[in-house]
Structure 1
C-alpha cells in the first residue's frame, strides 16, 4: 500500500483547494494532489491512462507547485498536457478544446501573493464539494493508481485569443475607447494580445505578469484596487474600463464617470443583449445580487433564478437549467450562450463591449437606466467554522416560527419593508456573510438593526 499523505485541514475548500505556501500548502501536497486527482480522473472516465491539461498562474510559487503536480500525475500512469502560464479560463478552454479528460490549474485566484491553490474539472464538469473531500481521503489513504505517464507542452494562446475575439460576432466596437487593467495577474499577456486584434482604442495597465503584484492587489471587487483604472479612464477620456482578478475568472468594470459597475449590474446589461435573441431564457444570479437585477430580467422577458453562491455551484445549475448566462456579485460571469458555460472574465469583457455597441448607448447611459437602490457592501463577520452554519440554521428556524418571508436556497435572504437582508455562512472562510438592500436609507437602517439584534441573541456582534 503506498504511503498516505495528510493535508492541512484548512486547504480542502468547497470550490477548490487553497492554502498558504510554506504554512498550509507545500510541493509535497501538490504532488499528492496530482496523484489523487489523476487517479480520480482515471476512475471517473474509465481510462487507465487519462490525459490531463495543466496550467498555472503567475505567482512566485506556481512553477514549483506545477512541477510537483505534474510529477504526481505522471506517477499514476496519466499524462500531463502543460499549457503554461495564463488565466484559469485558458485552462478551462484547453480542457474543452484539447483531447484531454480533465484539467487542473495551479492558482491562488485573487488571494495574497503568499497563497496558492488548485481549480479542477473532469470531463467538462467542475470538481467541488464531496469530490474535493474525496481527494483528501484518497491522499490520506495512499489510494493511488500506479504507472509511468508522460508529459507534453502545447501552446494554445493564439487559439484562445481567436476564440475570445470571435465573441464580437461582427459587432462594430471601433468607436469605443477602453481601458484595461490586469493588475499584474495571470490574464495580463492574453489581455495584451487580445486588445491588439480588437477594433477600437485600447489603453492597458499592468499587463506584465508579476506574482508579487507590485501595483495593486488583483481583486476588482475592492474599490481601492480600481483607482489606477479610474485615473486612466479620466485622463484618456475613455468610455469604460475593465479589470481582472489574479487568475482572470472575475471581471470588474467602471463607466466613463469612474463609477463601479457591480456584478449584478453587469449581468443586467449583458442579460438584455442575450435575451434579445433568446427570449424567455433563464438567467441565474447568486443570493447576494440586487432585487433590481431579478426584476430587470423578468421585465426583459427572461426567467430570473436566484441560486447559491459559488462558481462550481452556478456552473452545475446552468447545465441543469440550460441557462445561457449567469453571474455573481463577486464578478464571476458565466456564458453558455456561444461559449462553454464557465466563468471567463476576458470573454465577459468582449461580450460587454459587444452589448454596449449593440445598445447604441454608452456604458454610462446603460448604468443610468438601471434602478437605483441603497445597499450595504458585503459584510464579513468573523465566526468560528464550527458555529457559523448552526447559527444560520437556528435563525432560519426562528424565522419560520414567525412566519417570515424568506428564501433559504443559500443561507437566509429575508424580504421585509420593500427590501431584504441576507445572512449566509461562507464556504471558504470562518465568517458569516451579510448584505442588505432597501429603497431608501431609513429602511436600510431598519433592516440592518433587525439583523444585528438577531445575531446578538446568538452571541455574534458586528459593526457594519
Structure 2
C-alpha cells in the first residue's frame, strides 16, 4: 500500500518535498483520482504542463500514466510557466488541467495546481483527494485506452497576447525570472511586443543559484533594482518560480507592490467597463477600494487565496481581481486566471503612453505600511486564535471590523489585519497607517489584543 502524507494537501493545491512526501507513485495515484473525477464530469481530455524543477518531468510522466489509465486523452504541453497550462485549457474549452510546479518553494519541493470543470479546486475538494487516492491504490489498474500527445503552445500564447496588447511606443525593460520557468517565455513575449529586453537570470535552473524566485521578498529584487538604476531600462519586471506572479520596480528603485499595481489596472479596465466589479483580498491597502470606487467601479474585498479570488470573480462576474501576494486576474480581454506574464504586458500597455513610466507608478497612493508579519505557531493554533479574536476582540479606535478572513480592523487613518495562513501554521499580520503615528497606534492596539487573548507578545 502506498504511503500518502496528509500534510501535502493544502488549501489551494498539493505541495511537498520530493521524493519523501511527493514522488512518482503519488503522482500516478493522483492522476488516477483526477482522471476518475474528470470522467464523472463528462470530460475526455486533460492538459498537463510542468516547471523547470529536477523532479517535474518524471512527476509529469507518472501523472499522465494515471490519467491515461482512466481512458483520458492527455495533452502534454511540456515545460512551461503555469499560466500557459491555464491558457491552453481555457482557450480550447477543455476544463481540466494540472500544472506540476513547486512555484516559489525551495528546490526540493514540488506540487500540483489543479483545475477541474473550468474551476480551480481548493479546500475540501483538495483534501478529499487523499481518500480517493488510497481507495484507488487498492484497485488494479484499469488498463484503459488513454493516450498522450505532446505539443508546443508557446508560439500560440505569444501570438494571442500580441493580438490583444498594443504598446504606444517601444520600451526598454529588464526582466528577472530568478531562474524560474518564466524565463523560458517572458523575454520572447516582451520582445514580440516591441520591447528591448535586458535579461537577468532568465535561464531555467532548478537550483536557483542567484536568488529565490519570489518577488514578494524585497531581497529578491535587489539585483533587478540595481540593474534598472544603472542601465537605460525604464522599468523592471520580476516573475516568481512558475510565472503566475509579477513584481515591479521603478527607475529610482522603488518597489510597486501588487495592491498599488491593482489600482492602475482597475483605473484602466474601468475606462472600458464602467461600473465593473473588482475583487481584491483582505491584505490589500485601503486605497484599493477607495480608488476603485473613485474610478466608478464596485470594490469587493474577499478572502486571501488565488483559488478563492478566482471563484469569487466567477460568482460576481468581476472584470478584474488581485491579491497582495502578486496574483492578478484579468477577465476583461483575458480568461480570468492569474498570469504574471500577461499582467506585465497589461502594465506596459498602460505605461507606454507616458514618457516617464516610473513617475506614473510612484504617484499611486501609498500609506506607511508593514510587509506581512508571520508569527509561527503550532498546527491548528492560528485558526483557533482567529475564532477567539472574531468573537471577543476589542479594538477601541476601529470604526469597522471585517471578519471574512481573519479580523481586519478599518480605521479612519489605516487598517490592521490578523489572519490564519491556509498553507502553513502561522498567524499573518499586516498594518497600514496614514502616517507613522497612525501606524504605531494601530499596531499597538493589535499587540494589546494578541497579548490579552493569546498571551503572545509579538514584535511588530
Deviations 1:86-124 (A, max 9, x none): 100000012112363411111001111111000011132
Deviations 1:17-57 (A, max 9, x none): 000112322221111111111111111x225xx21111000
Asked if 1:70 is matched to 2:64, the reply is yes
Whether contact under 8 Å (2:178, 2:213) holds in the other structure is: yes
Matches within 5 A, 1:196-207: 196-207=191-202
Residue 401 of structure 1 and its aligned partner are, at CA, apart by 10
Matches within 5 A, 1:141-290: 141-142=135-136, 146=142, 147-168=144-165, 170-174=166-170, 176-290=171-285
SS at match of 1:420: strand
Unmatched 5+ stretches in structure 2: none
Whether contact under 8 Å (1:269, 1:366) holds in the other structure is: no
Aligned equivalent of 1:354: 349
Residue 404 of structure 1 and its aligned partner are, at CA, apart by 6.5
Q: TM-score, normalised by structure 2?
A: 0.95
Cα distance change of structure 1 residues 368 and 46 upon mapping to structure 2, 3 Å threshold: closer
Matches within 5 A, 1:270-419: 270-358=265-353, 360=354, 362-399=356-393, 405-416=400-411, 418-419=413-414
Whether contact under 8 Å (2:393, 2:449) holds in the other structure is: no
Of 111, 120, 134, the residue aligned with 2:105 is 111
Aligned equivalent of 1:430: 425
Whether contact under 8 Å (1:52, 1:80) holds in the other structure is: yes
Whether contact under 8 Å (2:370, 2:430) holds in the other structure is: yes
SS at match of 1:112: coil
Cα distance change of structure 1 residues 59 and 401 upon mapping to structure 2, 3 Å threshold: closer
Residue 417 of structure 1 and its aligned partner are, at CA, apart by 5.2
Cα distance change of structure 1 residues 139 and 307 upon mapping to structure 2, 3 Å threshold: same
Of 114, 125, 129, the residue aligned with 2:123 is 129
Residue 216 of structure 1 and its aligned partner are, at CA, apart by 1.0
Of 444, 448, 454, the residue aligned with 2:439 is 444
Deviations 1:373-418 (A, max 9, x none): 1111100111222221110010111137989620011111012352
More deviation, 399-408/115-124: 399-408
Distance in 1 between residues matched to 2:357 and 2:128, nearest whole Å: 45
Whether contact under 8 Å (1:165, 1:350) holds in the other structure is: no
Cα distance change of structure 1 residues 408 and 148 upon mapping to structure 2, 3 Å threshold: same
Distance in 1 between residues matched to 2:419 and 2:192, nearest whole Å: 43
SS at match of 1:304: strand
Aligned equivalent of 1:26: 23
Unmatched 5+ stretches in structure 1: none
Distance in 1 between residues matched to 2:164 and 2:199, nearest whole Å: 20
Whether contact under 8 Å (2:395, 2:446) holds in the other structure is: no
Deviations 1:168-225 (A, max 9, x none): 1x33231x22111111111111112213312132212111111111111100111111
